[in-house]
A and B are shown apart, each in its own frame.
Chain A
Amino acid sequence: MDKLLFADIDEPGLNTLDVYSRRGGYESLRRALQMTPDAVLAELEASGLRGRGGAGFAMGKKASFLPKGSMDKYLCCNADESEPGTFKDREIMQKNPHLLIEGMIIASYAAGINRAFIYIRGEYVLQADMLAGALAEAQAAGFLGEGILGSEHALSLVVHRGAGAYICGEETALLDSLEGKRGNPRLKPPFPANQGLYQGPTLINNVETLATVPAIIAMGGERYAQIGVENSTGTKLVSVSGNVQRPGNYEIELGIPSREIIYGLAGGPPEGREVKCWFPGGSSAPVLTAEDLDLPYDFDTMAKAGTMLGSGAIIVVDDSVAILDVALKVARFYRHESCGKCTPCREGTNWTVKMLERIESGEATPMDLDILASVQQQIIGHCLCVLGDAMAMPIGSLVAKFRPEFEEHIEAARQRAESPAAAVDTPLLRGAA
């Protein structure tokens, strides 16, 4: 398989216009500008490209939802990559920023957009600097601004640095944050395609999605759709991390067995250990176990298995790790990042952490596991955005799939708590020090 996004990614100077053009960069833009915007949209729809940020919505369809005609429309590139375990966009922006910029110009042309923003998380200092440098080069070379390459199309592009908030990766929270507010999600509908940034129609796409656009224009949507499997076309960057020997980003063809990614590419868990569970799509995805390793890695199979492909971040947990520690880490993260706008999420994440801490310290009974599970059920679907669900689903799956281990832990912790000498050494007290 040819690499579409990662071809010679480490070539020195690939971040400069010089090297990028020498490798055929901005040729797709030239080609797109000779087509009509509708023809470009048709190619994107034919490619079957699904959003790479997490939700997996068809990119071409999303772009076609924007109203036609001349008005203030906006394109926002979601570069707030904060989903635990995800670091694929970082590699693109750091090493091949022009690829993203070219993709954004083509997408803006297809949807008739004249103003674009890249919302990059504030922690990515190096990546934002790389983007800013590439942007200046593209501007000077006439790829941005008025009358791009002699066409009628005009585009202004601004790199906007965030300041550290997971919720700003949610599309409507991102818009609020970009408008200079606290990053609170908005009620949907209206969807951003109708009323987004500054109340104008807005197209929001992930970095990887937009960076794939030049390849689609170069090879044609039909041909792109032949890569991968039905309903999950193309290549996907997967970020493999956790207890594996070779963590990192890999560009795979969608639909290959998960085992090939975890064991073949990333080397599997360290010598002598086994996979206990794995998150197939960031920490928001319900976990799968070693039995699911042979499932093909694509959108539909993951959905059928009760989880999601999400952002393509595979976190592997091996059998040396206590499942309670994993649950606590996940729950504490969402408690910290809940914006507080909706009660089920704000209170639910807090109660989940408290209940897990009770389990850890030996104050819980097995019945608390049922309460824990019911709290998760009361969060799902009851909030403006899916941050609460993103905690409830993995925690719910951990409790469902590893209930005996939770019960064992409750019993062991209770016994420890009853003996004062051992009580000093509970994991909770150790952690708090």
Chain B
Amino acid sequence: MSPSVPRFAHGSRVPGWDDAADLDKDPAVIPEPSTTEVPDELRAEIEAHMANYPDRRSAVLPALAAAQRLHGWCSPQALDQVASVMALTPAYLASVASFYDMLETRPVGRHSIYVCTNISCSLCGADELFAALSEAAHDDPEINVRAFECLGACDIAPMASVDGVYVGPLSPDDAVALLRDLRAGGPVLPERQLVRRACADPQANRQDWPAPEALPGSGGRSAEEVGRAAGESEPESEPGA
């Protein structure tokens, strides 16, 4: 029912707990800006975020999200780059990244499918949906299927967020079609997207309005192409944007 918690040797939930400590190594300091290579786009984005707040540290979440979009996860290199632009230590950024569910602290597939398995969705069969999606995507390293806490879309339960695009209601039989659309790069299950759904309240609208268009998929590239592009550390377009 609940997603299995990854465990390491001796049942620990903490990665690297049994790695030998390097006693000669200095604690990580703020990376030297002159020698840390940061892609210009990432630097510009982080600096724009920092300018939004009275305290630059407030930009940590948007900066980490930007770095994750570029690198695929909050890798040591990604943390170093953010740290050097924001003048914070990588350890501080790691402590923040490990708190939030959407920031990945280990390598994952480029495409994310969050399946809501909370109470309302599970009353409507979310656990079966999660099992079907996991099964359908299990051999594809580019697709990261995760059971997620309430995604705030219980009206389309059971549902999933595919690269940030909400689709539902889904049945286990939809798993194959969903993955096909995702791999093709077009809109994912266009008729089932939340954006097309009208308000449930029958008295809200005085007339029937046309439904908005479905959201595009994440760029029209196959998962393999996206994966190759990631290897060359080429920025990927923002999912769902």
- Residues of B65-124 whose CB lies within 8 A of A: 65, 95-96, 99-103, 114, 118-120, 122-124
* Cross-chain contact A164 with B205 (CB below 8 angstroms): no
Q: Does A78 contact B (CB under 8 A)?
A: no
- Residues of B142-173 whose CB lies within 8 A of A: 148-157, 161, 164-166
* Cross-chain contact A123 with B100 (CB below 8 angstroms): no
* Cross-chain contact B4 with A432 (CB below 8 angstroms): yes
Please count the residue pairs between chain A and chain B whose beta carbons lie under 8 angstroms apart in the complex: 207
By a CB distance below 8 angstroms, the chain A residues around B203 are 1, 3
Given known A83-B150, A160-B62, contact A248–B199 (CB-CB < 8 A):
yes
Given known A84-B119, A126-B164, A431-B2, contact A121–B155 (CB-CB < 8 A):
no
Q: How far is the CB of A388 from chain B (nearest CB, A)?
A: 16
Q: Could you say which of B99, B199, B205 contacts A182, with CB atoms under 8 Å apart?
A: B99
* Cross-chain contact B101 with A161 (CB below 8 angstroms): no
* Cross-chain contact B62 with A183 (CB below 8 angstroms): no
Binary interface encoding of chain A residues 407-433 relative to chain B, with 1 for a CB under 8 A from any of its CBs, else 0: 000000000000000000001100110
Interface size, chain A (Cβ < 8 Å): 79
- Residues of A230-280 whose CB lies within 8 A of B: 239-243, 246-251, 265-266, 279
Q: Does A39 contact B (CB under 8 A)?
A: no
- A83, A115, A247: most-surrounded residue (chain B CB, <10 A): A247
Q: Does B223 contact A (CB under 8 A)?
A: no
How many angstroms between the C-alpha atoms of A428 and B4 in the bound complex? 12
Q: Could you say which of B102, B152, B156 contacts A86, with CB atoms under 8 Å apart?
A: B152
* Cross-chain contact A94 with B201 (CB below 8 angstroms): no
* Cross-chain contact A163 with B150 (CB below 8 angstroms): no
By a CB distance below 8 angstroms, the chain B residues around A6 are 199, 201, 204
Q: Does A12 contact B (CB under 8 A)?
A: yes
* Cross-chain contact A315 with B59 (CB below 8 angstroms): no
Q: Could you say which of A265, A336, A427 contacts B149, with CB atoms under 8 Å apart?
A: A336
How many angstroms between the C-alpha atoms of A126 and B239 in the bound complex? 10
By a CB distance below 8 angstroms, the chain B residues around A333 are 118-119, 149-150
- B119, B154, B155, B205: most-surrounded residue (chain A CB, <10 A): B119
How many angstroms between the C-alpha atoms of A95 and B200 in the bound complex? 13
Q: A11-B205, A83-B150, A241-B157 are in contact. List 6 more A-B contacts (CB 8 A).
A: A122-B102, A125-B164, A166-B150, A181-B57, A247-B154, A337-B149
5 contacts between A and B (CB under 8 A): A12-B212, A85-B120, A315-B119, A329-B118, A432-B4
Chain A interfacial positions (CB closer than 8 Å to B): 1, 3, 6-12, 72, 81-87, 89-91, 94-95, 115, 121-126, 129, 158, 160-166, 177-183, 198, 239-243, 246-251, 265-266, 279, 283, 313, 315, 317, 321, 325-326, 328-330, 332-333, 336-337, 339, 427-428, 431-432
Chain B interfacial positions (CB closer than 8 Å to A): 1-2, 4, 52-55, 57-62, 64-65, 95-96, 99-103, 114, 118-120, 122-124, 127, 148-157, 161, 164-166, 194-195, 198-206, 209-212, 215, 239-241
